[in-house]
Amino acid sequence: MSGVAEVCEALSGSLLCLACLTAVLLCGGQPEKRLVTATQEPSDVSQPVSQEGTVVAATPGSVTARSADGYTQTYLVTPNTTVITHGGSQPASAATHFAVNDRIFVVGTVQGGSRLATAVADRDAGPGNGPPMDWSAEQPIPRGGG
């Protein structure tokens, strides 16, 4: 090889080495990592919930029910909550409170991490052949046998 060829070969090798070293320094020698952040903040989306069980605690602002499988949950009772008892359905603010060991059915929503009762029904209030709690006047009343 001639002297010029040797210089070009050495220079090319040096430039290649310099480019690799620069890439390692700029990229930190590691692949780019994604940062994933998880939060435990409640969802803004309302989610339906329901539970059948026995009252284990009742206050003017809440009712706590325990299901047959042991699941226990507290639901907030608001002025918008409908309470269905032997006396019919009425707003929660005018309703008598449920007592411990009453059998109830709760329909509600989860909003902002809180369970809000939409309706609380006394399971012993009727013969069980009436319309469901989410029935509206525009719907036909379902009859048994399906």
Note the pLDDT tens digit of each residue in 68-122: 999 999 999 988 888 887 777 777 754 456 889 999 999 999 988 889 999 998 8
- Give pLDDT tens digits for 39-65: 666 566 788 999 999 999 988 889 999
Average pLDDT of 8-20? 67
Q: Does 145 score more than 50 pLDDT? A: no
The better pLDDT of the pair 93, 124 is held by 124
Asked whether residue 1 carries a pLDDT value surpassing 70, the answer given is: no
Mean predicted confidence (pLDDT) in 16-21: 67
Judged against a pLDDT cut of 80, whether residue 140 lies above it is answered with: no
What pTM was estimated for this model as a whole? 0.57
Q: In this model, does residue 146 exceed pLDDT 50?
A: no
Question: 108, 49 in Cβ contact below 8 A?
Answer: yes
DSSP state string for 110-129: EETTEEEEEEEEETTSS-S-
